[in-house]
Amino acid sequence: MTRLGQIGLQLGVGLTLAVALVAPGLAGEPGWPTYGGDQGGQRFSPATQITPANVKNLAVAWTYSTGDMKSHADFMARASFENTPILQEGRLYVCSPFNEVSALDPGTGGLLWRFDPKLDANKRYPNDYICRGVAFASNIDAKGSACNTRIYLNTADRRLIALDARTGKPCEGFGNHGTVVIPPGPQYEGKTKRFGRIHTTSAPVVTHGVVIVGSSIDDNQKVDELRGTVHAFDARTGALRWAFDPLGDEKPPFRAGAANVWAPMSVDEARGLVILPVSSASPDFFGGLRRGNGRYANSIVALHVADGTVSWSFQTTHHDVWDYDLPAQPTLGLVTYEGRTVPAVLQPTKQGLLFTIDRTDGKPLIPVVERKVPQDPAAGDRLSPTQPIPVAPVPLAPNRIAPSDAYGITFWDRGKCRDAIAAARHDGLYTPPSTQGSIIYPFTGGGTNWGGLAFDARHDIVYVNTSNAMHLVRLIRQKDFAEARERFFGKEVSPNEGAPFGMLREAMLSPIGMPCNPPPWGQLHAIDMHTGKVLWSVPLGTTEDMAPFSEYLLGKTGTPNLGGPIVTASGLVFIGAAMDDYLRAFDAKTGAELWRGRLPAGGQATPMTYVWKGRQYVVIAAGGHSKLNTRRGDQVVAFALPN
């Protein structure tokens, strides 16, 4: 394993790519140049115009409709508007769930140009229709020439497209008239060739002359799944520079695929590193045919941008059989813990854990201990006897439940939940899947998902949201699989082709549709990284848009959520994410909710903020989410203080 990457890399035939890390609205005004606010994904803005004192005056400044509610009306049930816009060179760039890119006027939301890649919506993609973002790069060609500044777009059907950032026209010199097909292509299968095995959902990253892309692969379909190879392409020509397979040269009897990078990546420009959040190997809930820990699966991996070789790695889950892959962008920043300051990686996880890793060597800054975990897996599997747990902060999501903890608003539904918990294995965090049925708690959509965290490096404080619910996972012997698929029609029943077991995964809900575990079901947390202490935790979201007036009956329950927070220098945390149609502002010091702005649809996206011509805007995609089944829409909404 090599050490640090080179500083100031030069790649290609005399090509050095300078990526704008500061992209103000106008000279000196705070902008939002990349998906995570900066290449390290801190989601921090130095903007100070909107403050805890005046945030109550925020109002809608403009809205923009992508038109998807009309043009893709038949497919909106499978669409999730997860996009975070970026601001570069006086244009706001938005990507719709169907990979259509719009360039907008930052002050009015007026359309400047629009590009439609003509995605075939009749195809079924593994994670439905999602585009979390696009990437920008400058100084690609001669100054003043077409495509000197570019937008890079991943599409669901595995295309990488380069667009002229000023006009939206494809860059002729990139690949085939502006398009490169990302290996291995979309890989459709089935009798009608309609079902895709691989696509892309997160924005690419651009650094040191290359564009780097990951992939999204469907869960629980095959043992011998496609590999989750990360590809790097020449930013000017589209030529393939290198490829990295997290499973590497694992050979039989090891059988697995995936270990892909579906969540956003981060870049350490100075060290010439790209930081990958790698997912689990296939299939998710049975590992008997992939003995061992899976090389770089479930790991934070730092690659040298120059050639794709590994600088260091750190595994957060050993031999994953819980779908506890890394779901969020690694956040880069200087962290001071107990008096020691290092360049660090902050990695939240589905388990509700937060790992803090030294970026120079991949070793924990906050110590990690290997703790014994439940054993007795399904026949043929062999678990790791221990799992890595950071000593701080404490887990941000609950992970153990007993039948007596069952929740319900009536004796009847509480009793049903109590019986369901009692009937399943419930040994706490890392309970192995079983034919009996095992409780995965937190569920595979929580604690923290693709929204990631926000980091205020001035005060060493992390802000992160979590979802608190349970999954019941039952392994199904292959001889019983056909009958089970028929019996549980309409639920997630997957074949795990090539394994001795298929699987059933379902949320543990009461008969009236409420989680069987006690609230809060969604929270927002603040963590002091100097000590690892949780400063505050507050419920996030209400049941208002699921059941009118239920908030008055149930109290502050919070809800499961998708999307992340941002933090501003004025002391505000903005977040949508919850299952009601609001964008919220919280006091960064106390966690008090100071404002909520009504949205036309679900805000399951991470917001962004910028200053344009002296006025600060907070912008969020409000289009709802297929997995949470929130209200669908196609609008980008900008809030600002009155002029």
Is the pLDDT score of 15 beyond 80? no
Residues 6+ apart with CB under 8 A from 557: 519, 520, 521, 539, 542, 543, 551
Is the pLDDT score of 144 beyond 90? no
**Residue range 362-381: mean pLDDT, rounded:** 98
In a domain, 614, yes or no: yes
423, containing H or E segment: helix 411-423
CB 429 within 8 A of CB 441: yes
CA 548, distance to chain mean position in Å, is 30
Q: Which of 10-14, 31-35, 331-335, 403-407 has the lowest mean pLDDT?
A: 10-14
Token pair belonging to 155: 């599409």
Domain of residue 565 covers 396-470+508-643
Is the pLDDT score of 428 beyond 90? yes
Please tell me the distance from the alpha carbon of residue 569 to that of residue 563, in angstroms, as a whole number: 21
Indicate the number of domains in the chain.
1
Which residue in this structure is represented by tokens 């900008």? 638
Exposure string for 435-466, b = 16+ CB within 10 A, e = fewer: eebbbbbbbbbbbbbbbbbbbbbeebbbbbbb
Q: What is the pLDDT of residue 209?
A: 96
In a domain, 190, yes or no: no
Please tell me the distance from the alpha carbon of residue 76 to that of residue 288, in angstroms, as a whole number: 38
Please tell me the distance from the alpha carbon of residue 60 to that of residue 600, in angstroms, as a whole number: 11
Reported as a pLDDT band with limits 50, 70 and 90, residue 27 is low
Is the pLDDT score of 3 beyond 80? no
Please report, rounded to a whole number, the percentage of residues in the chain having pLDDT higher than 70.
Answer: 96
Q: Residue 454 pairs with which residues in a beta bridge?
A: 463
Domain containing 558 — which CATH number?
2.140.10.10
Over the stretch 530-576, which tens digit does the pLDDT of each residue have? 999 999 999 999 999 988 777 777 888 999 999 999 999 999 999 99
Q: What is the pLDDT of residue 123?
A: 87
CB 148 within 8 A of CB 94: no
Over the stretch 95-130, which tens digit does the pLDDT of each residue have? 999 999 999 999 999 999 999 999 998 888 888 999
Q: Measure the CA angle with vertex 628, ends 623 and 632; round to 5°.
A: 25
Question: Phi/psi of residue 480, each to 5°?
Answer: -105, 0
Is the pLDDT score of 142 beyond 80? no
Reported as a pLDDT band with limits 50, 70 and 90, residue 21 is very low
Please report, rounded to a whole number, the percentage of residues in the chain having pLDDT higher than 90.
Answer: 88
Report the chain's mean pLDDT, rounded to a whole number: 93
Question: Phi/psi of residue 209, each to 5°?
Answer: 85, 5
Which residue in this structure is represented by tokens 């969540």? 263
Is the pLDDT score of 414 beyond 50? yes
CB 150 within 8 A of CB 135: no
Q: Residue 35 carries which side chain, given as an amino acid letter?
A: Y
Question: Phi/psi of residue 411, each to 5°?
Answer: -60, -35
**Residue range 467-482: mean pLDDT, rounded:** 97
Please tell me the distance from the alpha carbon of residue 383 to that of residue 376, in angstroms, as a whole number: 8
Rg (C-alpha) for the chain, rounded Å, is 23
| Residue from 345, 384, 361, 393 nearest 534 by CA | 393
In a domain, 540, yes or no: yes
Residue 323 falls in the annotated catalytic set: yes
Which residue in this structure is represented by tokens 């599997």? 381
- Three-state DSSP at 597 gives strand
**Residue range 600-605: mean pLDDT, rounded:** 98
Please tell me the distance from the alpha carbon of residue 379 to that of residue 239, in angstroms, as a whole number: 46
Reported as a pLDDT band with limits 50, 70 and 90, residue 14 is very low
Over the stretch 579-591, which tens digit does the pLDDT of each residue have? 999 999 999 999 9
CA 401, distance to chain mean position in Å, is 27
Q: What is the pLDDT of residue 7?
A: 21
Token pair belonging to 81: 């508007």
In a domain, 89, yes or no: no
Any idea what DSSP says for residue 151? E
**Residue range 186-193: mean pLDDT, rounded:** 82
Burial, 73: exposed, middle or buried (Cβ in 10 Å; 0-12, 13-18, 19+)? Answer: exposed
**Residue range 335-363: mean pLDDT, rounded:** 97
**Residue range 420-447: mean pLDDT, rounded:** 97
Q: How many residues does the chain have?
A: 643
Q: What is the pLDDT of residue 2?
A: 30
553, containing H or E segment: helix 550-554
Q: Residue 81 carries which side chain, given as an amino acid letter?
A: F
Q: What is the pLDDT of residue 6?
A: 25
Name the active-site residue from 157, 323, 580, 634. 323
Q: How far is CA 215 from CA 86, 123, 151, 185, 361, in A?
A: 21, 17, 19, 10, 26
Over the stretch 234-254, which tens digit does the pLDDT of each residue have? 999 999 999 999 999 888 889
- Three-state DSSP at 447 gives strand
| Residue from 282, 280, 268 nearest 8 by CA | 268
Over the stretch 350-359, which tens digit does the pLDDT of each residue have? 999 999 999 9
Token pair belonging to 460: 């060493």
Q: What is the pLDDT of residue 25?
A: 57
Please tell me the distance from the alpha carbon of residue 519 to that of residue 524, in angstroms, as a whole number: 13
In a domain, 435, yes or no: yes
In a domain, 602, yes or no: yes
| Residue from 44, 109, 200, 7 nearest 636 by CA | 109
The torsion of the CA quartet 272, 277, 280, 284, rounded to 10 degrees, works out to -160
Reported as a pLDDT band with limits 50, 70 and 90, residue 8 is very low
Q: Measure the CA angle with vertex 554, ends 549 and 557; round to 5°.
A: 110
Any idea what DSSP says for residue 12? T
Is the pLDDT score of 23 beyond 50? no
- What do you get for the CA distance between the two ends of the chain, in Å? 56
The string of DSSP codes covering 274-312 is EEEE--PBSSSS--TTS-SS-TTTTEEEEEETTT--EEE
**Residue range 390-407: mean pLDDT, rounded:** 98
**Residue range 523-527: mean pLDDT, rounded:** 98
In a domain, 322, yes or no: no
In a domain, 161, yes or no: no
Token pair belonging to 43: 């989601």
Please tell me the distance from the alpha carbon of residue 316 to that of residue 279, in angstroms, as a whole number: 10
CB 130 within 8 A of CB 119: no
**Residue range 428-434: mean pLDDT, rounded:** 98
Q: What is the pLDDT of residue 551?
A: 76
